[in-house]
Amino acid sequence: MPTITVRGTSIACDRGENLRRVLLKHDISLYNGGSALINCRGIGSCGTCAVEITGEVSEINWKEKARLSLPPHSPAKNRRLACQVKVFGDIEVKKYDGFWGQGDRLANLRENE
């Protein structure tokens, strides 16, 4: 059973589970500011759930690659769209600032903080 580590919190999930769904189920928001209200709800078109991931996850798909190649994102930042990622092993997730998660400073991921 893979473990997702986010800002010191560890969450167990089933292999192959969708990262966005797991994090939201555990009250860990993937959205900064207004993007919590204005996002594509997991279809991979908006880019607001962009995170940095270390560990074993699914390969990047065409939809994710296309969205992350458009501004304000940059392929050089090594971000992934949580809504398109399946968890295959233990991972660490980092969310950055900016409406789209495109910034360089770590963002707060807890809903109630």
Q: Is the pLDDT of residue 112 over 50?
A: no
Mean pLDDT score, 45-73: 96
Nearest in space to 113 (alpha carbons), one of 32, 1, 20, 14 = 32
Residue with tokens 């997991």: 42
User: Is residue 92 within 8 Å of 54, Cβ to Cβ?
Assistant: yes
Instruction: Give pLDDT, residue 106.
Output: 93
Dump pLDDT digits (tens) for 62-97. Answer: 999 999 999 999 999 999 999 999 999 999 999 999
Confidence bin at 113 (pLDDT 50/70/90): very low
Dump pLDDT digits (tens) for 9-36. Answer: 999 999 999 999 999 999 998 999 999 9
DSSP 28: B
Q: What single letter denotes the amino acid at residue 80?
A: R
Instruction: Give pLDDT, residue 110.
Output: 56
